[in-house]
Structure formats: structure tokens, C-alpha cells
Amino acid sequence: MLAGRSMLRPISALLIACGAWSLSMLAGPAGNDASQESKASASNRADGLAAWQQVYSVLTHPRCINCHTATSYPQQGNDRHRHFANVVRGPAGKGVPALQCATCHQEANADSTGVPGAHDWHLAPLSMKWQDRNDKILSSAEVCRAVTDRAKNNNLDGAGLLKHHTQEPLVLWAFQPSRQIDGSLRTLPPLTHDEFVSATRKWVEAGMPCPQNP
């Protein structure tokens, strides 16, 4: 009996070991998958956030943000000063009856006079302001939240945002802003348009992640 009991111990130990191995076989791969998925998700989010930072660098360039103000007027120039000639936003972001955006801005750049132009020149709505009322540029997280809020962004989903960045005439203008009145070229955003669209696509495909506060 003693011998029998002593024989059982190794067998029991073997069974326990096998059971543990079996359990690990059942639980192990799934646990690894979850871990890998978690890592992949984190990597995807990190890539998306990196792409967003590229997008943000363009959105906050003067060629873009000068018309995404929080005030009753647009801005101009790399120093983002108030638009000259007492230009005001107006009820639809297109100025007022005798002083509209179209009073000067035509369908295309006017190289001979230095006035920029593109189809339907206008200010972005106040819901798409990327500055505060003191003209301070909002943080990456704040702009990201506004851009992804369909109550603020004209109900655009990811595909809609990508299309906007790809095709909107005023977005395209920012990458071909032509000459100023002194003949010098306006500075360009930090990315080419192709790079900007590519970064937007990566960000959208990553689920449009936004940075944490602030």
C-alpha cells in the first residue's frame, strides 16, 4: 500500500502537470492573442496620433488657421494679423453686403495684384475655430476634438474629412497660395498636399485618435 501510495504521487504530479499544461494550452494562445491585439491596438493608436500631429501641423499653419478664427474677422500674413480694410466675418462667414470676401477674392489667385483667390472664399464657421478669442492657437487635443465632432464639423465622418482634405478648393489653395502683393511667394504649410492627405488617411484608418488633454 505504501509502495502503491508512493507510486501514486509521481502519477498525480504528472497529471497535475499535464493538467496545467492543458490549461495553458487552452488559455495561453488566447491570452497571447489578446496581448498581441492590445499591442497592435496601441501601435495603431500611436501611428494614428503621429499622423494626427502631422495633420495638426498643417491645420495650424497661417495658410489654414487665418480663416479658422474665433473672432468676427479673418487674419492674414504669417504673423496672423487682423485682416486689413475693416473686413468682418458677417452672418455666413462671407462678409457683409458691400464688403464681402468676394469684394476682393476671386475664383483664382490674382498674381498681378497679389490677392489670393479660390472658389467660394469664406471663413470657416465658428464651430471650426482653431484659436481662442485672443488668437491663441488651440492645443492639438482641442483641435482634434473639434475636427472629429460631427456636431461641429458639418457632420463629416472619417471618409468625409479625408475627402475634405483631398478636394476642398480652399484646402487646395493653402498648398498653392501664390504671390503676395510685393511679389514674394506666400509660405507653404509644412507638408505637401500629398503628404497631408496621406497623413489624414493614416489617422482616419487608425480610428481618428485624439491626444489626451490638454
Partner 1 sequence: METYKLTVNGQPREVTVDPGTPLLWVLREELKMTGTKYGCGIAACGACTVHLGGVATRSCVVPVSLVRGRPVVTIEAMAEDPVGRVVQDAWVSKDIVQCGYCQSGQIMSAVALLKATRKPTDANIEESMGGNLCRCATYVRIREAIKVASQQLK
Report yes or no: 170 and 128 within 8 Å, Cβ to Cβ: no
Per rule CB under 8 A, is residue 81 in the interface with partner 1? Answer: no
Is the CB of 164 or the CB of 179 nearer to partner 1?
A: 179
CB of 104 to partner 1, least distance (A): 5
Report yes or no: 45 and 211 within 8 Å, Cβ to Cβ: no
C-alpha 97/C-alpha 206 separation (Å) is 44
Per rule CB under 8 A, is residue 70 in the interface with partner 1? Answer: no
* DSSP structure class, residue 182: T
Chosen residue from 113, 167, 187, 192 binding partner 1 by CB under 8 A: 113
Binding flags for partner 1, 175-194, as an x/- string (CB under 8 A): ------x-------------
- Helical pair 140-148 and 2-59, crossing angle rounded to 10 deg: 90
Cell of 191: 507638408
Per rule CB under 8 A, is residue 24 in the interface with partner 1? Answer: no
Chosen residue from 50, 115, 156, 172 binding partner 1 by CB under 8 A: 115
The full DSSP string for 16-56 is HHHHHHHHHHHHHHHHHHHHHHHHHHHHHHHHHHHHHHHHH
Chosen residue from 49, 50, 70, 102 binding partner 1 by CB under 8 A: 102
Per rule CB under 8 A, is residue 126 in the interface with partner 1? Answer: no
Chosen residue from 86, 134, 184, 212 binding partner 1 by CB under 8 A: 86
